Amino acid sequence: MSDRTKFILDESEMPTAWYNIVPDLPAPPPPPLHPGTGQPVGPEDLAPLFPQALIMQEVSGERYIDIPGEVLDVYRLWRPSPLFRARRLERALDTPAKIYYKYEGVSPVGSHKPNTAVPQAFYNAAEGVTKLTTETGAGQCYDQKPYRKFMMETYGAVVHPSPSDLTQSGRAVLAEHPDSTGSLGIAISEAVEMAAGDPDARYALGSVLNHVLMHQTIIGEEALKQFELAEDTPDVIVGCTGGGSNFGGLVFPFLREKLAGKIAPTIRAVEPAACPSFTRGTYAYDFGDTAGLTPLLKMHTLGHGFIPDPIHAGGLRYHGMSPLLSHIFELGLLDAVAISQSECFAAGVRFARSEGILPAPEPTHALAECVREALRCKESGEEKVILTALCGHAHLDLPAYASYLAGEMVDRELTDAEVEQALKALPVTT
C-alpha cells in the first residue's frame, strides 16, 4: 500500500446514511429564532421555504438518516470520490508531513455541491414542488465568469445576476448601491423572497443549515473508510469555510471519532482574510441573508449587511457561518485561521504544478494552510498526517488564475473600523 496514489472505494462500499452530529455534541446548538417573536421557529415557520422531509432533517435528533435509494443512484454517477496521497506536493515542499486530499471535483459539476443539491431536489419533488430557487456564487460574477451560468443553463436552469430588479430585496440593494458587486447574502434574500411568494416553489440552499451539512457528511464517512485502506490517521484536518458545508461534511465524521476518544486530530477552518467571520466576526443572533428575510441564526457573523470585497472565492463571500459549526467552534472543538487571497492562489498554482488538478479558488484556502502546516513540519521535523478538503476544481474559475498570474490580484486587509461598522447592523435579541 505504501506507494499508492489514490484510495478508491467501490460503489458498493459507498455509505448509505448521512451522519447527524447534533446528538453527539456535549451541548445542543442554540435554536433559530423568529425575528418577530424572539421565540424558536417551528416547522410551520419554515414550510413556505422547505419541504417537510428537509425540515424534519433540520431539527432531527437521530444520529443517522438513511439516504434514499434514488439519491444513492445519482450519487453513484461520481461517488465514492477519491482520497489522494499528495506525494508530488510533499516532494515539492520537501516536507516530512504526509498530505492527503479528499477530492470532490469528480462530480459532473466539479464540486461537492450536488451532494446536497440532489437530495434537496429529490425531497422537494417527492412533495410536489415543481420549482426551486437558490443563490450561487455564479450570480455574483454573471458577466466576468459566465461559464458556470452556461453549465446551469445546459441542465435547464434559469440564472439571474444578483442583485436583480426581480425582487424587492434586490431593488433595495440596487437603490442604495447601483454598482453593488453582490454577495451570497443578497442572493439568498432574492432566492428566499421568490420562493416565499410562489406556492409551487421552494428554496434550496447550498450551505449554512444543518441538513445541508448533514448531506455533505458522505464526504467524511468515505474518507474515514479510505484512511482505513491507507492504514493512516490524520493529525490535522483543514478545509475552507464559506457557509461551512464542505468543511462540516468532511470533518463531522472525524469529530464523531474524536468525541468518542478514538482519534485526536486538530480540526481547522480556513477562511478568506476578506471575509473572516470565525476569526474577526462575533458570535450572535443574525439574519442569514442581507435583507433580513430568514429566521435569526446564532452564528459567527460580520453582520448581515456586510458586503465582502469581490474576491475570486465567491463561495466564501458570506457574512455568516453555519450555526452548527459556530456552536462547535464555541465548544472549542475546532480552530480557525484567515488567509489572504494571493497566498491562497500561490498554493493553488503550486498544487496544480505538482498534483495536476487546478483547485477552485475556495479550496486554495485549505491548501494554503496545508502548505503552511507542511512547512512547519519541515522546520520541526514532525511527520504529521494532514488531510485537506479539496472541494472542487477551477475549470469554471480560470480567469481568477489568469488574474493571479498577471500580477493583478490585490490583497486588502479589512480594517477594524470596517468590521466594527459592519457589526453595528446586528439585530438586537434578548
Q: Which stretch binds its own copies (CB under 8 A): 76-84, 233-241, 254-262, 327-335?
A: 76-84
The x, y and z cell numbers of residue 109, run together, are 459539476
Size of the site for its own copies (CB under 8 A): 42
395 near its own copies, rule: CB under 8 A = yes
Helices (H) and strands (E) in the chain, counts: 17, 13
In the complex, the smallest distance separating the C-beta of residue 357 from its own copies, rounded to whole angstroms, is 5
CA 230 to each of CA 4, 60, 245: distance values in angstroms, whole numbers, following the listed order: 8, 33, 25
352 near its own copies, rule: CB under 8 A = yes
CA 250 to each of CA 218, 269, 390: distance values in angstroms, whole numbers, following the listed order: 8, 11, 10
Residues 6+ apart with CB under 8 A from 117: 204, 206
DSSP H stretches of helix in 331-360: 341-355
Q: What is the enclosing helix (H) or strand (E) of 339? A: strand 335-339
Longest dimension (CA), the chain: 61
The x, y and z cell numbers of residue 417, run together, are 473600523
107 near its own copies, rule: CB under 8 A = yes
Binding to its own copies in span 10-49, by CB under 8 A: 10-11
In the complex, the smallest distance separating the C-beta of residue 106 from its own copies, rounded to whole angstroms, is 6
Per CB under 8 A, the list member of 47, 77, 331, 410 interacting with its own copies is 77
Per CB under 8 A, the list member of 64, 78, 122, 142 interacting with its own copies is 78
Per CB under 8 A, the list member of 17, 106, 337, 346 interacting with its own copies is 106
Please tell me the distance from the alpha carbon of residue 391 to that of residue 4, in angstroms, as a whole number. 21
Q: What is the enclosing helix (H) or strand (E) of 298? A: strand 296-301
125 near its own copies, rule: CB under 8 A = no
In the complex, the smallest distance separating the C-beta of residue 103 from its own copies, rounded to whole angstroms, is 10
Amino acid, single-letter form, for residue 408: E
Please tell me the distance from the alpha carbon of residue 97 to that of residue 120, in angstroms, as a whole number. 38
Residues 6+ apart with CB under 8 A from 225: 9, 13, 15
The x, y and z cell numbers of residue 181, run together, are 458587486
61 near its own copies, rule: CB under 8 A = no
Nearer to its own copies, 153 or 198 (CB): 153
Nearer to its own copies, 85 or 384 (CB): 85
151 near its own copies, rule: CB under 8 A = yes
Q: Which stretch binds its own copies (CB under 8 A): 75-83, 176-184, 249-257, 372-380?
A: 75-83
Please tell me the distance from the alpha carbon of residue 390 to that of residue 365, in angstroms, as a whole number. 10
Backbone phi, then psi, for 385, in 5-degree steps?
Answer: -105, 115
Per CB under 8 A, the list member of 247, 254, 285, 401 interacting with its own copies is 401
4 near its own copies, rule: CB under 8 A = yes
Q: Which stretch binds its own copies (CB under 8 A): 177-185, 201-209, 289-297, 400-408?
A: 400-408
3-state secondary structure of 6: strand
Q: Which stretch binds its own copies (CB under 8 A): 184-192, 323-331, 378-386, 390-398?
A: 390-398
146 near its own copies, rule: CB under 8 A = yes
Q: Which among 240, 254, 222 has a CA at the least distance from the CA of 102?
A: 222
Per CB under 8 A, the list member of 28, 40, 42, 108 interacting with its own copies is 108
In the complex, the smallest distance separating the C-beta of residue 275 from its own copies, rounded to whole angstroms, is 24
User: Would strands 201-203 and 64-66 be described as parallel, antiparallel, or unpaired?
Assistant: unpaired
Interface contacts to its own copies, rule CB under 8 A:
4-6, 8, 10-11, 73-74, 76-78, 84, 88, 106-110, 114, 146-147, 150-151, 153-156, 349, 352-353, 355-358, 393, 395-396, 398-399, 401-402, 405
